[in-house]
Structure 1
């Protein structure tokens, strides 16, 4: 994609907010912010690199999702949130330990450190346990009470986890839900995949559910600008409304795939192909996240 192919920026007044990215300590910072053994990153993902990418791409704020490279040690992300309080908000990683320590850590990070979301990674649950077990329900319910959104990472397929998500949404309708990366649904190639994508669209019946149109390189079957995702975005907007869909880059994993700026521009090209009204694109590129987290990220760019 050449620069001449890009369409104009979504708006001169609305913030562009990245709903899904990660940061981790640089190797030089690892003595202070150690990596979890066996999860050492092989890409640069420190906040200075992120800020450089965001400035180049014209992105104003972001939701930082705790990376597996630091696992349940949130000290690096917390330090970034404290240093840049008007630019970033945090999503912590749920610790499903059955001794209750995960709930205490969750409450501390929300009440003391200002985290506004929590990520449920089902593959961190004990073997044989589901996200609907006692600790899962407790954290999910508490998230609703604290007005904290719960993100779901369905990396091995939405069909494996849809029943758990539906059960939690039904039992706790006040808890906001984020589905990371289109719930890992690729453009359907057969009846089974089409059925799973229809189940994703059917989650729109729960008013609390939002979808991240994020990590496009993970879900597209083509190269940048990932235009095979146009029908999926069109159906997402038809089912959920643009005000329940939000763009996310999946930095820094996106950088070697298409570049951070390329990830942002791809959404505009995909939307242009549908075509999507500019007002819908504004919601996807920032207004949805700003409204959802109704926090400091709603500050206008040119204030």
Structure 2
């Protein structure tokens, strides 16, 4: 069976719809042109490639803590989408509960953009996420993870690491930050997205310099704690990115259909709470 005919969940993507939802005036970056994509367009992309569900991630670019576009996309999807929101560090329990009722399953931390120190003092927020059973999605890069780990380890919250932890391929597998990520994976309290290869690769598609990192992540986390994401619509992509070739790369890296079913369907479905028959 082709990967295009297998059940799939896309666990990392964004909606940029500035016509219906103008960007915040103070945004640091305003996605435009081919970087934009509405909820309706994204659902057509998913239909074209046989993808059943999507975890839509609220972006720092354009919208930051304005989650109206994200919530509208979830509402339009008829249960097909769930979301990861960006919130203020002093977000209240009532706000989190309201977001959860509208299909938000977690909150994003982005040290890769804001730095680790930005999240100092967020222990109360993490406690509330843990209390509500929500995820903490974390995007770090290069050597940032060890500095963030004390906060994560104390929180007890379920952790979802973005884009393979965005390691530096030239530093190799023995880099302490990547080894810390593998240790986190072996702890059994974190999941990782095998996504965003273009964000840390030094090579064009198919980004072969990232493959050893993917294989090590799968060994540490196991496929019970790995998910896949497209990163559609490819904000600030260094080269043209296409949805189909990304899926074919997953088919190459995971030639066993049982393994692909775990990565693309069973694990994300269980993690994010979709019923087995949807």
Partner of 2:72: 79
Q: Is the 8 A contact 2:54 2:82 kept in 1?
A: yes
| 2:84 pairs with one of 79, 91, 95 | 91
Matched, 1:237 2:218: yes
What CA deviation, in whole Å up to 9, does each residue of 1:94-119 have, x standing for no partner?
Answer: 312xxx34655333212x32310110
Per the TM alignment, residue 267 of structure 1 is displaced from its structure 2 partner at its CA by: 1.4
| 2:105 pairs with one of 116, 131, 156 | 116
Q: Is the 8 A contact 2:223 2:262 kept in 1?
A: yes
Matched, 1:291 2:270: yes
Inter-partner Cα distance in structure 2 for 1:237 and 1:193: 16
What CA deviation, in whole Å up to 9, does each residue of 1:81-104 have, x standing for no partner?
Answer: 1121321001001312xxx34655
Matched, 1:226 2:207: yes
| 1:179 pairs with one of 136, 147, 161 | 161
Judging changes above 3 Å, is the alpha-carbon distance between structure 1 residues 102 and 263 closer, same or farther for their aligned structure 2 residues?
farther
Inter-partner Cα distance in structure 1 for 2:136 and 2:230: 18
Pairwise mapping of residues 12-27 of structure 1 onto structure 2 (< 5 A)? Answer: 12=6, 15-27=7-19
Per the TM alignment, residue 123 of structure 1 is displaced from its structure 2 partner at its CA by: 6.4
Inter-partner Cα distance in structure 2 for 1:294 and 1:160: 30
Structure 1, unmatched stretches of 5+, are: 1-6
What CA deviation, in whole Å up to 9, does each residue of 1:49-82 have, x standing for no partner?
Answer: 2112212222111100012211111111111111
SS at match of 2:42: helix
Per the TM alignment, residue 193 of structure 1 is displaced from its structure 2 partner at its CA by: 6.5
What CA deviation, in whole Å up to 9, does each residue of 1:100-148 have, x standing for no partner?
Answer: 34655333212x32310110123676x88452x33x1111111111111
| 1:56 pairs with one of 41, 48, 56 | 48
TM-score (norm 1): 0.80
Inter-partner Cα distance in structure 2 for 1:109 and 1:282: 30
Judging changes above 3 Å, is the alpha-carbon distance between structure 1 residues 191 and 218 closer, same or farther for their aligned structure 2 residues?
closer
Partner of 1:213: 194
Q: Is the 8 A contact 2:160 2:192 kept in 1?
A: yes
Higher RCO by CA contacts (8 Å cutoff, separation 6 or greater):
1
Partner of 1:66: 58
Inter-partner Cα distance in structure 2 for 1:231 and 1:21: 24
Partner of 1:264: 247
TM-score (norm 2): 0.87
What CA deviation, in whole Å up to 9, does each residue of 1:145-197 have, x standing for no partner?
Answer: 11111001114x3x223232x22343233x1101100111143x236973332
Structure 2, unmatched stretches of 5+, are: none
Q: Which has the larger radius of gyration?
A: 1
Inter-partner Cα distance in structure 2 for 1:105 and 1:8: 42
Matched, 1:139 2:125: yes
SS at match of 1:258: coil
Inter-partner Cα distance in structure 2 for 1:123 and 1:105: 25
Q: Is the 8 A contact 2:168 2:200 kept in 1?
A: yes
